[in-house]
Chain A
């Protein structure tokens, strides 16, 4: 029996309405007790002094790409989960766009095997909605559910056929499986590469207009409401999109949504210079959209901060802007960017922790995200104020495609524990 006491920290556990000076005792891989500072008297414990740090449940990411199987040159389950724990994430949900696609139980089982053998944290696979993400025929959704997929999504290959989407929502609902979406109407997208705005006009790049996102958010909300299915709208980036979600929630629909740190941190003005590390899907929008997203955070409309961690190698990124892949890595910058929302007074520190832990866990019914007794001891310790520079050499992901390279960030993960085991320590790295 191994006992660990994390003491003297500012403990935040939104699920149990705790925020203050509390210690937490772990026995082996589980949470044993949370109690006011100094009140847990235990013998034979290993102690971790968390003075000056926030102690909270490990972060839960509803949206990432681990690239294995098929694109191991971009990321593997090992490197991706190393990056996750370095960013404070202890549970991540990986999208189905691997090669082969995670549209059947064999691929799901392979991912789970790799996680067991090489992973640093919990990984929950998301299955495909349609076979090979082609948007033509449903994948074996019940089989994926049985195999352990916690949701289904075609992500960047948005199901364009509204009837097929309706069938998918109805079918998934039969098994209680949520559907998560990337909202993009492909004809309106017109092979655009960035937000359609004065910036796309100046840069001469084809635009991806907001309406291409809005129209699918509206469609899927209508279909989900009619079906009664749970729709989780992935990475909402537009002002109208987030309003549509808010209105649906007010009607009592089973709609949840996530927002990425980059979408509330950067605007399309960052694209001057054609740096492909600013090319993502949905694209960076405008100040007006960011303001609407922040208002939504303030009003509690957003259920989760999700990274959409999307590693790409230099052969995918060091290209003409039109030809470069969409996406950026996100695990290791999520915390400092989210803390900006706290510093700007958009949300409280407790709310931020909630958006990275229990709220996302609840969206897909995952067991992480709390420090309740008996749960796995998935814990992160972070320093809210530590300033550091995000250098390429410090990145744990196999890919380095981040728009924040060389940027000074504030807020840093100090330690991450998964099932009671220290897997990341800022001074010694991923363990």
Chain B
């Protein structure tokens, strides 16, 4: 596959062909991750900076491991240690980092569009969006897709139900685009107070009842209730949310036998998902994490390659 993009900012920009190309590359790298010595020299001499303006453990570690297993020099820059707390603006920070001539910036930010703004100002550095506000989280959707593909081989015709706070979820948006582009049909499930404006216009079915929403679904993706991002709660209590929209032992009885339960993590056990289910037979939650490293290796590799072609 010829991959010529400079940046990965969102799934909305990618074609099905590009998504498939990234996943093929990721499958190739997932073999590296099973070796005793998990390192290849592919990106030796390349510099990757993880710029995390918002807290993250899993995504940052995953990108860091991905870079290191490809032998890139990886530097982490987190908001607590950053100049941001000294009043430096996003763009000044970015321009300073760019002046050190990294090859790739991986950016996580609480504001939607932050990676787009960086990409616009950084001419010779690639930008990977590692999550921007409620907008997109493309590497998450790609690792979710890889997880599904490993089990089901084919996504065309599958039915996906995404359950939870769609309004504040970048994972939901990226996954809606990704599954639709790969030929699946997507439903979103949750109370209407957690649905963003005109969500139907994204081509999804909308359900306000969990049982109806997940009926016949091949994939059930439970979103994390992000208490930290919600100022005025769109539901009365965690207990009520959990009773009406959490996946419990009762509701999973209605699932298809080969249904997959996914969660982008970190899981609020007992809120959106019953503790037993997260580790249960339908769950592929840890496979998602494993595949995350391979997908991020693929993204770093493809962007570096695209860069060399442009030299």
- Chain A residues with CB under 8 Å of chain B are 190-191, 196-198, 200-207, 209, 273-274, 315, 318-323
- In the complex, are the beta carbons of B136 and A204 less than 8 A apart? yes
A319-B89 contact, Cβ under 8 Å, with A190-B232, A196-B197, A197-B198: yes
B21 close to A (CB within 8 Å): no
- In the complex, are the beta carbons of A197 and B197 less than 8 A apart? yes
Q: Measured between C-beta atoms, what is the minimum distance from B168 to chain A in Å?
A: 9
- In the complex, are the beta carbons of A202 and B12 less than 8 A apart? yes
Q: Which chain A residues border B89 with CB–CB below 8 Å? A: 315, 318-319
B114 close to A (CB within 8 Å): yes
A201-B202 contact, Cβ under 8 Å, with A319-B90, A320-B90, A322-B133: yes
Select from chain B the residue with minimum beta-carbon distance to A273. B116
- In the complex, are the beta carbons of B199 and A205 less than 8 A apart? no
Q: Measured between C-beta atoms, what is the minimum distance from B288 to chain A in Å?
A: 21
Q: Measured between C-beta atoms, what is the minimum distance from B6 to chain A in Å?
A: 15
Q: Which chain B residues border A209 with CB–CB below 8 Å? A: 197
- In the complex, are the beta carbons of A198 and B113 less than 8 A apart? no
- In the complex, are the beta carbons of B202 and A204 less than 8 A apart? no
B173 close to A (CB within 8 Å): yes
Number of A-B contacts (CB under 8 A): 70
B interface size (C-beta, 8 A): 28
Q: Which of B110, B111, B197, B232 contacts A201 (CB 8 A)?
A: B197
The proximity string for B residues 172-210 relative to A, scoring 1 for CB distances below 8 Å and 0 otherwise, is 010000000000000000000000111101100000000
A201-B198 contact, Cβ under 8 Å, with A274-B112, A274-B117, A323-B111: yes
Q: Measured between C-beta atoms, what is the minimum distance from A370 to chain B in Å?
A: 45
Q: Which chain B residues border A201 with CB–CB below 8 Å? A: 173, 196-199, 201-202
Beyond A205-B112, A206-B134, 12 extra complex contacts between A and B, CB < 8 Å? A201-B201, A202-B12, A203-B113, A204-B112, A204-B113, A204-B135, A274-B112, A319-B89, A320-B111, A320-B113, A321-B111, A321-B113
Q: Which chain B residues border A191 with CB–CB below 8 Å? A: 231
Q: Measured between C-beta atoms, what is the minimum distance from A129 to chain B in Å?
A: 27
In angstroms, Cα B202 to Cα A190, docked, is 23
Select from chain A the residue with minimum beta-carbon distance to B136. A204
- In the complex, are the beta carbons of A207 and B197 less than 8 A apart? yes
In angstroms, Cα B197 to Cα A274, docked, is 18
A198-B202 contact, Cβ under 8 Å, with A274-B113, A323-B111: yes
Q: Which chain A residues border B136 with CB–CB below 8 Å? A: 204
Q: Which chain A residues border B202 with CB–CB below 8 Å? A: 198, 201-202
Q: Measured between C-beta atoms, what is the minimum distance from A248 to chain B in Å?
A: 28
Q: Which chain B residues border A320 with CB–CB below 8 Å? A: 90, 109, 111, 113-114, 117
Select from chain A the residue with minimum beta-carbon distance to B114. A320
Q: Which chain A residues border B117 with CB–CB below 8 Å? A: 274, 320-321
Q: Which of B90, B109, B113 contacts A205 (CB 8 A)?
A: B113
- In the complex, are the beta carbons of A200 and B90 less than 8 A apart? no
B64 close to A (CB within 8 Å): no
The proximity string for B residues 136-155 relative to A, scoring 1 for CB distances below 8 Å and 0 otherwise, is 10000000000000000000
In angstroms, Cα B113 to Cα A190, docked, is 19
B165 close to A (CB within 8 Å): no
- In the complex, are the beta carbons of B91 and A204 less than 8 A apart? no
B132 close to A (CB within 8 Å): yes
In angstroms, Cα B113 to Cα A283, docked, is 17
Q: Which of B112, B170, B197 contacts A198 (CB 8 A)?
A: B197
Q: Measured between C-beta atoms, what is the minimum distance from A286 to chain B in Å?
A: 10
Q: Which chain B residues border A319 with CB–CB below 8 Å? A: 89-91
A204-B198 contact, Cβ under 8 Å, with A274-B116, A274-B117: no
Q: Which chain A residues border B199 with CB–CB below 8 Å? A: 201
In angstroms, Cα B199 to Cα A201, docked, is 7
Most chain A beta-carbon neighbours within 10 Å: one of B113, B116, B201: B113
Select from chain A the residue with minimum beta-carbon distance to B116. A274
- In the complex, are the beta carbons of A204 and B170 less than 8 A apart? yes
In angstroms, Cα B229 to Cα A191, docked, is 13
Q: Which 4 A-B pairs have the closest CB atoms?
A: A204-B135, A274-B113, A320-B111, A204-B134
- In the complex, are the beta carbons of A198 and B90 less than 8 A apart? no
Q: Measured between C-beta atoms, what is the minimum distance from B35 to chain A in Å?
A: 38
In angstroms, Cα B229 to Cα A324, docked, is 19
Q: Measured between C-beta atoms, what is the minimum distance from B259 to chain A in Å?
A: 27
Q: Measured between C-beta atoms, what is the minimum distance from B116 to chain A in Å?
A: 5
Q: Which chain A residues border B201 with CB–CB below 8 Å? A: 198, 201
Q: Measured between C-beta atoms, what is the minimum distance from A272 to chain B in Å?
A: 9
Query: Which positions 103-142 of chain B face chain A at CB distance < 8 Å?
Result: 109-114, 116-117, 120, 132-136
